[in-house]
């Protein structure tokens, strides 16, 4: 096998239309970002991917975002189910964690194709593991732990919808 086999699909390596960097000094900054993102109307039909090592803060950001969107009650993490559906007022949300996704048949069988064809917010951790099947992300959020509390953040827009989100965040 050559190195080429390990390259990511071409859609993922396409350059972003626009990007933005930030530093979160602690989880309060992560929560504040989640509230600003949740306030943007364009988020309602977005596909947002979350990138970063274990412990980078992907699930933490999703939880703050779900709360900011008005999801109530216990927030389950999808690790074993691959996807966890949530309901916010007037908004369907699906939180994927593709970490254990390895059978492409599951894409059809579990109805993931239908979910991506439906209106609503789709959030995905470990999107690389399903990159051949998912649409390109509107917004990709890359998290990198600098130390216990601080996170270096890179936001990349790959679609006009993602650009609208970045512009909303900068406004």
Ligand X SMILES: Nc1ncnc2c1ncn2[C@@H]1O[C@H](COP(=O)(O)OP(=O)(O)O)[C@@H](O)[C@H]1O
Q: Rg of the chain over CA atoms, in angstroms?
A: 15
Cβ-based nearer residue to ligand X, 26 or 104? 26
Report the C-alpha gap between 139 and 16 in whole angstroms.
9
Which of Mg ion, ligand X, none lies near 49, with the C-beta cut-off 5 to 8 A by kind? none
Decide: is 30 part of the binding site for Mg ion (CB under 5 A): no
* Residue selected from 45, 60, 154, 163 as contacting ligand X according to rule CB under 6 A: 60
- Using CB under 6 A as the binding rule, whether residue 33 contacts ligand X is answered as no
User: Rounded to an integer, what distance in angstroms lies between the CA atom of residue 130 and that of residue 97?
Assistant: 10
Piece of the chain touching ligand X by CB under 6 A; list 1-9, 20-28, 38-46, 129-137 = 20-28
CB under 5 to 8 A by kind: which of ligand X, Mg ion, none does 54 bind?
Answer: ligand X
Residue whose entry in the numeric block shows the structure tokens 């396409």: 14
Q: Does an H or E element contain 123, and which?
A: strand 121-125
Residue 24, both tokens = 């979160």
Q: Is 59 in the site for Mg ion (CB under 5 A)?
A: yes
Closest CB to ligand X among residues 42, 52: 52
- Contacting ligand X (CB under 6 A), which of 42, 46, 52, 155? 52
Instruction: Confirm or reject binding of residue 75 to ligand X (CB under 6 A).
Output: no
Determine the size of the site formed for Mg ion (CB under 5 A): 3
Residue whose Cβ sits closest to ligand X = 57
Give the orientation angle of helix 58-68 with respect to helix 27-38, to 10 degrees.
Answer: 50
Sheet bearing 151-157, strands edge to edge: 18-24, 151-157, 139-145, 47-51, 121-125, 91-97, 83-88
| Contacting residues toward ligand X, per CB under 6 A | 24, 26-27, 29-30, 52, 54-60, 125, 149, 151
């Amino acid at each position: 096998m050559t190195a080429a086999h390990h390259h990511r699909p071409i859609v993922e390596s396409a350059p972003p239309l626009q990007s933005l960097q930030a530093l979160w000094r602690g989880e309060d900054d992560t929560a504040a970002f989640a509230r600003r993102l949740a306030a943007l109307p364009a988020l309602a039909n977005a596909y947002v991917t979350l990138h970063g090592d274990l412990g980078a803060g992907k699930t933490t950001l999703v939880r703050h975002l779900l709360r900011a969107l008005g999801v109530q009650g216990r927030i389950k993490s999808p690790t074993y189910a691959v996807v966890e559906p949530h309901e916010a007022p007037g908004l369907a949300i699906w939180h994927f964690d593709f970490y254990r996704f390895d059978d492409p048949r599951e894409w059809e069988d579990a109805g993931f194709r239908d979910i991506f064809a439906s209106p609503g917010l789709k959030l995905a951790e470990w999107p690389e593991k399903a990159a051949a099947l998912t649409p390109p992300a509107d917004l990709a959020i890359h998290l990198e732990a600098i130390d216990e509390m601080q996170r270096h953040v890179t936001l990349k827009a790959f679609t006009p919808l993602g650009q609208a989100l970045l512009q909303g965040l900068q406004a």
